Amino acid sequence: MAEMHCKNDLIHPIDSAAFSIAMSDTKARLYISWKKNELDYYIANVENFLLHDPEHFLKFRKYVRNIIDWGRDRRLEGIRKSLDYLLEESREIASAAAKSSVPPSADPASSAITSSRSSSKTCKTS
């Protein structure tokens, strides 16, 4: 599992596991890959299947269906929670940045430009 560092110094684990399948017309190989840290990625062979063998075919189908169920349920919910957390934190950062920035009307440089423009527009005609 990879880790994510946030502004509040909490570490939230991110499930980086991904499954892949390599197939030919007679064989299927199921792999799992994951990220251990920022530099290390791993891949492992889960199982090999002979597709012409009915027992292997059914076992392969069972693995794939279980992976799909896992992806739709627990993993998807975890991804949604992580995205919600990141969105909330992003909004908090943007709000804090907006509160700390100086509005243009309070900036002395912008008011000097405004006053010089307004004074150059006033002309006396005799």
For 33-79, how does the pLDDT look when each residue is reduced to its tens digit (9 = 90+)?
998 888 899 999 999 999 999 999 999 999 999 999 988 888 888 88
Could you tell me the pLDDT band of residue 106, with boundaries at 50, 70 and 90? low
Nearest to 30 by CA among 46, 43, 44: 46
- pTM (2 decimals)? 0.57
* Residue with more model confidence, 86 or 26: 26
> What mean pLDDT do residues 86-90 have?
88
Residue pair 68/85 in contact by the 8 Å Cβ criterion: no
Q: Which residue has the tokens 């792999």?
A: 31
